[in-house]
Structure 1
Amino acid sequence: MNTAVDILQKYWKHDAFRSPQEEIIASVLEGKDTLALMPTGGGKSICFQVPAMMQEGICLVISPLIALMRDQVQNLQNKGIKAIALTGGIHQDEIIDLLDNCQFGNYKFLYLSPERLQNDWILERIKNLPINLIAIDEAHCVSQWGHDFRPAYLKIAKLKEYFPKVPFLALTASATPRVKEDIILQLQLDNPQTFSKSFYRDNIAYMVFETEDKLNLLQQILHKNSQSSIIYVTNRKACSDTVYQLENLGFKATYYHGGLSYKDKENHMKLWMEEKVQVMVATNAFGMGIDKANVKTIIHLHLPQNLENYYQESGRAGRNGDKAFAVILNNPSDILHAEAQFISVLPDKAFLNLVFTKLCNYFKIAYGEGIDEQFSFNLNQFCGKYNFPILKTYNALQFLDRQGVITLSQEFSEKISIQFIIPSKEVIRYMSLNPNDEEILLTLLRTYPGIYDMQTPFNPQIIAKKSNSTENTVLSLLQKLKEKDIIEMISKNNDATITFNEIREDEHTINRISKHLIAQNKLKVEQLQAVLYYCKDTKTCKNKLLMRYFGETLKKDCGICSHCISKTKKTTKTSEISEKIIELLKIQDFNSRDIQKLSKFPKDDVIFALQNLLENDTISIKSNNLYSLK
């Protein structure tokens, strides 16, 4: 039998594990429930992928992140490992085919969202699979105290009934002590082995700078550190605006947000990954699955929503071990901006009910219907029709998504429909003349029998899998058929898609989930307060503040954060001023005003130095307020 290191070397081309990967894998292989808290970039996926490859059967991976699921499945497939993801927008007959593949096709990984477990028939199919490990990624989502609580995660514990001897591996990159306890409780982990990699990153200098002129300071930072950088902003417009400003200053920059097409995302990413641009300006849609080792600087141009997100985003710097910087640029108006961005736009129960009702009306869904129906969705058009505020509506939809009521795909997608416009006998003739295209065409005809009669939406991923081809090959063939006037192909871009996961019950639905809304709104206020405290506190090491938030104690100041640097500078300056004061007092006694005038140092700095000299018994102050050497 291959060892864990053998598997690591064969598929991942690494010679050794990072701590505590090997210990986590050993725990899983011993059949123990395991909780792993590993910061961003710690290599969480290795912890379930390696042990799954060492055993017979299939690993069930539960994750809320569609983009990350697709990314991991693609990476596994590139390594020759059979993996499948049941993402949103796949019709029931296609899901049946995919699950058949899992059962009979020797697949090693099945990725799905927790919401899929709410479908009884999917759960029944999963119960019959040879599951060897259940990995729960982003496990903090199971806790109401987590920054991304999803009630669908509460259903995961039910899998314990069907797989009592299969170990659970819960993974998260950001969990406070309260969340950690809740994960164990809600997932019903049985006496779990717990592994925590310290959140402390000794090579990252956490900086907070107050400035009225952010662009000027940004320019200085990027000139001083000319390696790869990421600038995080809070909205799409700020992405393009910031790139425009940086390019005018002579920097090479590009941007990334959820509204870009897949092709544009790939192109912009490639520019940055290949060092053709220095700066990536992005919303928090950027980062999942990105592993660029030499990122020198992460800059938050606006205040982050919570310290969990900030820690994950800043943790994308310095993965090569070199010194790196995580910077927040802050000014007094940012607090008002953050409260407007994150707090005032939180939907209450009444607004949530209104949005859900109008959403159902918008798509003409009758009461008691709508389950599994999917629609193209444009947020601006929807808000314009009902005169809703965009950000507050978006937050309401996101909440409905997290509660599993709907699935909101925020990825810019291209919906393709095709129809054959030549007779079937001509299609058969084409296949006989082009045998390389035959398998894909036969798969297409078997999967979509009505494709001669009407424009038929189709899924290139499904056709690629069924025909043992790739998605790019399928799309290239379709383009060729279109150019030869064999098919008519229509591509339509959508901002998003919405899938209804439940029947329409209006207030019934909202009443059931409103308690979570109240709790989450309260939590978001507390989390923003923690960010504001982190930025405002000028007396504590920034690394200490972060570690304290995540339940760790840092005994010594880090020595490299903005607080520690300012303290060092202040000590140096105080020493210089003290020497000047002593020189002056050797000549004669002076009051503080004269000392400040003669030394030419700022008044506050002189007073601070005088207090230090008094405390150290170097000088004394007379009754006439004159300072004198002792």
Structure 2
Amino acid sequence: MPTALEILQKYWQHNTFRSLQNEIIDSVLSGHDTFALMPTGGGKSICFQVPALMNEGVCLVVSPLVALMKDQVANLQKRGIKAIALTGGIKSDEIIDLLDNCQYGNYKFLYVSPERLQSDWILDRIKNLPINLITIDEAHCVSQWGHDFRPAYLKISELKKHFPKIPFLALTATATPRVKEDIITELGMQHPVQFEKSFARKNIAYMVFEVEDKLFRIEQILKKNPQPSIIYVRNRKSCLEISSQLQTLGFRSTYYHGGLTSREKDKNMQLWMEEKAQVIVATNAFGMGIDKPNVKTVIHIQLPENMENYYQEAGRSGRNGEKAFAVLLTGKTDLIQAESQFIKVLPDKTFLTTMYIKLCNYFQIAYGEGINEEFMFNLNHFCHKYDFPALKTFNAMRFLDGQGIITLSQEFSEKITLQFIIPSKEVIRYTSLNPNDEEIILTILRTYPGVYEMQTAFNLPLIAKKSHHSEAEVLGVLHKLKDKEIIEYHSKNNDAVLIFNEIREDELTINKVSKHLSRQNELKKEQLQSVLKYVAEKNSCKSKMILDYFGEKTTVNCGICSYCITLTKPKKDFNALSKKIIDLLQIEGLSSREIQNKTKNTADDIIFVLQQLLEDDFLIIQKNNKYTLKT
């Protein structure tokens, strides 16, 4: 049998393991149930992929994230390792074929969602596979106190009955002590060996700055640190706006959010990965599977929903071990915005029930029916039809997705239909006059023989592959044919694919999950309070506060966060700066940026003195954000 290091070298071309990886692998190979808490960037996947490749049989990986499953399967296949994933939307006959491949085709990894394990027939098939390891990824989802609780995870412990001698490996990047104990109990782990990597990232300077002009501060940060950066925002609109503003300021910037096509996501990601763009402005859809070592700065310009998400996103900086910055910019209205964005949009049981019934009516699903039905879904259209608030509706749907009642795939899709509306001989004449378009047109005609008779659903990636052209080139030909009235072409964008996983039972469906809803709402309120405490606390080391949140005690300050650097700075006499500001304001009202430019002081010093003058009742702030002397 090859050693763990030989497997690592053969498939990943690494000569050494990261901290704790080898110890976790040894524990699993010894047959022990194992719990591993490894903060983001710790290399969790290696901990189950290496031992699985060392033994005969299949590693069963339970994961809640479709995108992560697809990403890991693609990465394994690239390395010549056979892996498959049973994601939502796959029909039963396809699942049978995939499981047959898994049983007889020498596959090494089978990825499943926890909801899939609730199907008795799938579980029966898995019971007959030569399973060598059961890995529970994102294991915090098993805990009602975790930030992504999914009740389907509670059923995973039943695998112990079927595979009593097969070790469980529970992996998570974020777990408080309460969540860790919950994971071990709910999974039924037997005397697990526990590994916990410190949450301390000694090379990351956690910075919290209260600023009036966030864009101006971003500009300063990016000029000072011209290396690769990520800016996290809360919505798609902000992605475009901030990226566009940065380009206007002369920065090479791109953006990433869940509403982009796969092609756009890949293109924008590559621009940033290849450093043709310094900055990528992104929602939290960005990050899974991203391991760019030299990210210098991660900037959040709105408050995160919880400390778990913030830690993971901030932790995408400095993975090369060099000093990096995790900057959180706050403003006076951020608290109000956070409460309206995270708390006021939480659905209660009444709203959830109403929304679910309307959702079933929207797709004309009768009571007692609907299981495994799949639909294209546009959230905005649905909300407009029933006058529902979009964010509250989305949160309600996301909750139902988490409970396994529906599956909401937020993969952007573009549905194309087309029909040739001129005779075939005229199409042939066109191709003879336009030889550059010929291969694409002939591929369409060969693939869709009925395209003259009716509007035909069109598979863009398939035609691109078969014609040996890019998707952009195929679309170019379609638009040209449409302009010349050779084809009738329709393209419709959809936000999501929606699958109903249970039959419709209205109140009965909601009643069985409503207790989880109220508990989850309370948890979200607690988590936001932790974020507000982190931001508001002016007299504590930020790194120490993060460690404390995750149950890791330390008495040592980090020395590099926004609090610690105030301790090492020489004490300034701000009286002269105060006088200078008052003199300037006697002439005219000025913004903080204008004051900074005129006095040539740092933004932090200006803000500090302005706050002092406000507290001492010397100044007032006008509606245009300009400071004036109080008369």
**TM-score tier (shorter):** 0.7 to 0.9
Aligned residue pair count = 552
Q: Counterparts of 1:548 and 1:354 in 2: how far apart (Å)?
A: 41
Q: Which residue of 1 aligns with 2:121?
A: 121
Q: Which residue of 2 aligns with 1:572?
A: 571
Q: Which residue of 1 aligns with 2:192?
A: 192
1:357 alignment partner AA: I
1:205 alignment partner AA: A
Give the fraction of aligned pairs with identical amino acids, expressed as a percent: 67
SS of aligned partner of 1:90: coil
1:572 alignment partner AA: K
Structure 2 regions of 5+ residues with no counterpart?
424-442, 482-486, 577-604, 613-631
Given the alignment of the two structures, is residue 354 of structure 1 paired with residue 384 of structure 2, yes or no?
Answer: no
Structure 1 regions of 5+ residues with no counterpart?
423-440, 464-470, 578-600, 609-630
SS of aligned partner of 2:303: coil
Q: Counterparts of 1:418 and 1:168 in 2: how far apart (Å)?
A: 50
Q: Counterparts of 1:195 and 1:72 in 2: how far apart (Å)?
A: 23
- Which residues in structure 2 correspond to 1:197-346 (within 5 Å)? 197-346=197-346
SS of aligned partner of 2:498: strand
SS of aligned partner of 2:175: coil
SS of aligned partner of 2:543: helix
1:54 alignment partner AA: M
Q: Counterparts of 1:17 and 1:420 in 2: how far apart (Å)?
A: 58
Given the alignment of the two structures, is residue 528 of structure 1 paired with residue 528 of structure 2, yes or no?
Answer: yes
SS of aligned partner of 1:114: coil
Q: Alpha-carbon deviation of 1:493?
A: 3.8
1:112-161 superposed Cα distances (whole Å, 9 cap, x missing partner): 11111111111111111111111111000000000000101111111111
Q: Counterparts of 2:13 and 2:121 in 1: how far apart (Å)?
A: 39
1:309-332 superposed Cα distances (whole Å, 9 cap, x missing partner): 000000000000000000000012
- Cα RMSD (Å) of the superposition? 3.3
1:19 alignment partner AA: S
Q: Alpha-carbon deviation of 1:416?
A: 6.9
1:301-357 superposed Cα distances (whole Å, 9 cap, x missing partner): 000000000000000000000000000000120000000000000000000001100
Q: Counterparts of 1:158 and 1:417 in 2: how far apart (Å)?
A: 45
1:143-201 superposed Cα distances (whole Å, 9 cap, x missing partner): 00000001011111111111111111110000000000000011111110110000000
The answer as to whether partners of 2:460 and 2:474 remain within 8 angstroms in 1 is no
Q: Counterparts of 2:284 and 2:317 in 1: how far apart (Å)?
A: 15
Q: In structure 2, do the counterparts of structure 1 residues 39 and 459 end up closer, same or farther at CA, with 3 Å as the change threshold?
A: farther
State the TM-score, normalizing by the size of structure 1: 0.82
Q: In structure 2, do the counterparts of structure 1 residues 555 and 574 end up closer, same or farther at CA, with 3 Å as the change threshold?
A: farther
Q: In structure 2, do the counterparts of structure 1 residues 398 and 214 end up closer, same or farther at CA, with 3 Å as the change threshold?
A: same
Q: Which residue of 2 aligns with 1:431?
A: none
Q: Counterparts of 2:93 and 2:325 in 1: how far apart (Å)?
A: 49
Q: Alpha-carbon deviation of 1:394?
A: 0.3
1:203-238 superposed Cα distances (whole Å, 9 cap, x missing partner): 000000001111111111111111000000000000
SS of aligned partner of 2:408: strand
Given the alignment of the two structures, is residue 132 of structure 1 paired with residue 132 of structure 2, yes or no?
Answer: yes
If you compute each CA radius of gyration, which structure gives the higher value, 1 or 2?
Answer: 1
2:71 alignment partner AA: D
Given the alignment of the two structures, is residue 54 of structure 1 paired with residue 63 of structure 2, yes or no?
Answer: no
1:59 alignment partner AA: C
Q: Alpha-carbon deviation of 1:90?
A: 1.1
Q: In structure 2, do the counterparts of structure 1 residues 457 and 508 end up closer, same or farther at CA, with 3 Å as the change threshold?
A: farther
SS of aligned partner of 1:49: helix
Q: Alpha-carbon deviation of 1:449?
A: 14
Q: In structure 2, do the counterparts of structure 1 residues 256 and 531 end up closer, same or farther at CA, with 3 Å as the change threshold?
A: same
1:20 alignment partner AA: L
Q: Counterparts of 1:354 and 1:287 in 2: how far apart (Å)?
A: 34
SS of aligned partner of 1:573: coil
Given the alignment of the two structures, is residue 386 of structure 1 paired with residue 386 of structure 2, yes or no?
Answer: yes
Given the alignment of the two structures, is residue 65 of structure 1 paired with residue 47 of structure 2, yes or no?
Answer: no
2:146 alignment partner AA: G
SS of aligned partner of 2:572: helix
Q: Counterparts of 1:492 and 1:340 in 2: how far apart (Å)?
A: 32
Q: Counterparts of 1:45 and 1:472 in 2: how far apart (Å)?
A: 33
Q: Which residue of 2 aligns with 1:32?
A: 32
The answer as to whether partners of 1:205 and 1:560 remain within 8 angstroms in 2 is yes
1:15 alignment partner AA: N
Q: In structure 2, do the counterparts of structure 1 residues 267 and 71 end up closer, same or farther at CA, with 3 Å as the change threshold?
A: same
SS of aligned partner of 1:169: strand
SS of aligned partner of 1:244: helix
The answer as to whether partners of 1:460 and 1:474 remain within 8 angstroms in 2 is no
Q: Counterparts of 1:500 and 1:47 in 2: how far apart (Å)?
A: 34
1:261 alignment partner AA: T
The answer as to whether partners of 1:298 and 1:325 remain within 8 angstroms in 2 is yes
- Which residues in structure 2 correspond to 1:466-505 (within 5 Å)? 473=465, 476=468, 493-505=493-505
Q: In structure 2, do the counterparts of structure 1 residues 472 and 288 end up closer, same or farther at CA, with 3 Å as the change threshold?
A: farther
1:43 alignment partner AA: G
Q: Counterparts of 1:350 and 1:393 in 2: how far apart (Å)?
A: 12
Q: Alpha-carbon deviation of 1:567?
A: 2.1
Q: Counterparts of 2:300 and 2:127 in 1: how far apart (Å)?
A: 45
Q: Counterparts of 1:34 and 1:452 in 2: how far apart (Å)?
A: 60
Q: In structure 2, do the counterparts of structure 1 residues 111 and 451 end up closer, same or farther at CA, with 3 Å as the change threshold?
A: farther
Q: Counterparts of 1:89 and 1:137 in 2: how far apart (Å)?
A: 21
- Which residues in structure 2 correspond to 1:553-564 (within 5 Å)? 553-564=553-564
SS of aligned partner of 1:289: coil
Q: Alpha-carbon deviation of 1:546?
A: 0.3
Q: Alpha-carbon deviation of 1:247?
A: 1.1
Q: Which residue of 2 aligns with 1:590?
A: none
- Which residues in structure 2 correspond to 1:413-492 (within 5 Å)? 413-415=413-415, 473=465, 476=468
Q: Which residue of 2 aligns with 1:80?
A: 80
State the TM-score, normalizing by the size of structure 2: 0.82
Q: Which residue of 2 aligns with 1:542?
A: 542
The answer as to whether partners of 1:406 and 1:501 remain within 8 angstroms in 2 is yes
